[in-house]
Amino acid sequence: MGKNTINKEPDCRITKAIFILFCMPGILLATAGIVFARTTAEFYTLEHVITCAQNHSPEAMKSRTLKENKYWRWKFYKSHYKPQLVVNSTLPSYQNSNIAILQDDGSLAHRNIRQSQANISLSLEQNIGLTGGKLFLNSDLSRIDNINQDFYSYSGAPFFIGIEQPLFMYNHLKWQKRIEPLKYKESLKEYVENAEKIAYTTTLKYFNLLIARTSYEMTQKNLKNAETIYQLGREKYAMGKISQNELLQLKFGLISAQKSISRALLSQGTAQLELNSYTGLQNTNIYAFSVPENITFFSIDDSLAIFQALANSRRSVEFKREILEAKQEAERTKKESGLNATLYMSYGTTNIASHLFSIYRDPQTLQTINFGVSVPILDWGRAKANYKTAQANLKLVEYTVQQDKIYFRQETITEIEYFRTLKNLIECCCEADTTAAERYEIARKRYIAGDISLTEYNIALEEKDRAKLDYIIALADYWKTYYTIRILTLYDFENHQSLAMEDE
């Protein structure tokens, strides 16, 4: 038994070894494939992150909800100008009580009343936006049951048509018809503008992460170089080639590099958390974000930019709406402080019968005309003061809008002018980054060789780090300015197309 066991173990081990050798290439390829797939899945460009933020971020969902809310408000407004068909009814109401009833001789006598009553009406109404009045077409029917006398009767108006028309009064329907379309148009432009604002904010946070990551990478390299130079300094100090003061400076530089790497690591983690929280990204690796250097420069004409800004932007609609609302308030205060009158006219048929269908046989004519007037006589100047306040507010809004238009134009032109300078700025920063890196490498070697002082070496180190960050900041300025121009104009100058949504 033991002999058989001893003989089988080598065979088993050989079999396992052969199996592993044959399967190892496949395992390695599968592992490489998984790693490659994971790396590919976690690699994010600026455009990808912006798309993700515009589709899935909390801010995007809030913007879509706001757009939907304003869409239904628009539909609610439009329903006011369509016929409204309404059914009103009262279920049979029952009454059993003692009430005082006027007698023929003028005296009152208490009587027990037991009765029920029910009614139903059908009304078709149509608002008149031009005049602020209302047309209506009605039909109603009611029944009263006197239970004590076992008697019931019907009363109704099979048909009557009429009009209710305010005269010399404030017409809110007219102003709604002018202002509400602007509000809806403003909401559509606001939705597109919010999408571009999400792109801008995402860009800002994206580059904050890149700057933090670059700073962390630089501090890692600087720490490694500081350790090397400090060890070399200790050797030189032991040989008497440098002073103790210079050795302490090298040690202080090493400590500073250690502190910098801790701060940089914290900034990197914070920046990644802020980007992930804003965009809705999860489980992303900080090294999966690339520096967006694929930039394009295109010409923007100032006149075209101003034209597109005034034609497409939300602010242009907002300017019109603010002035109209101020004019609306001025007219409202003026109308409500003067003569107010309402005309009510109706014509139709009515009848009383002991049977239901008798109501609709030979009905009598029903005619109604009401004319109400309200005239303020003495209000101690309250109406006049209210109207003058509204007029002053209208002038203030007009002046404010005029000034805002000037600022809006200036802001647009300023961003375009800055966009034009970014090409040279980025080229200079890129060249400065390359030059500073080469200069630092030379300075590092010369310091090790003892050809330059520690001060010169530190200057080269600071310039290298500053130049690297300046280049990334210049790229960030390009993309931030790019999206700022799109926010202000709602126009894509690169592809020559408007970003504004058409009215639905």
Kindly report, residue by residue over 273-291, the tens digit of the pLDDT.
999 999 988 777 777 888 8
CATH 1.20.1600.10 spans which residues of the chain?
293-338+381-499
User: In this prediction, what percent of the chain has a pLDDT beyond 70?
Assistant: 89
Can you give the pLDDT at residue 503? Answer: 60
Cβ(158)–Cβ(139) below 8 Å: yes
**Residue 26 has what pLDDT?**
39
Residue 340: strand, helix, or coil = strand
Tell me what pLDDT residue 502 has: 65
Supply 255's token pair: 């400590």
pLDDT score at 337 = 77
pLDDT in tens, 39-78: 334 578 999 999 999 999 999 999 999 999 999 999 998 8
The yes-or-no verdict on residue 122 having pLDDT over 60 is yes
89 and 203 Cβ atoms separated by less than 8 Å: no
β-pairing, 364-374 vs 340-353, is antiparallel
Which of residues 378 and 222 earns the better pLDDT score? Answer: 222
Question: Which backbone phi and psi does 82 adopt, to 5 degrees?
Answer: -115, 155
Is the per-residue pLDDT at 483 higher than 90? yes
Give the DSSP H or E segment for 142: strand 133-146
- Say if residue 12's pLDDT is above 60: no
178-237 pLDDT tens trace: 999 999 999 999 999 999 999 999 999 999 999 999 999 988 988 888 888 888 888 888
Q: Is the pLDDT assigned to residue 169 strictly greater than 70?
A: yes
pLDDT in the model for residue 398: 93
CATH code given to domain 293-338+381-499: 1.20.1600.10
List C-alpha distances in Å: 341 to 98, 257, 463. 42, 84, 81
Q: What percent of the chain has pLDDT over 90?
A: 36
Judge whether residue 7 has pLDDT over 80: no
User: What is the arithmetic mean of pLDDT over 440-454?
Assistant: 86
Tell me what pLDDT residue 23 has: 40
Phi, psi for residue 132 in degrees, rounded to 5:
85, 10
* Rounded Cα gap, residues 55 and 39, in angstroms: 23
Residue type at position 472 = I
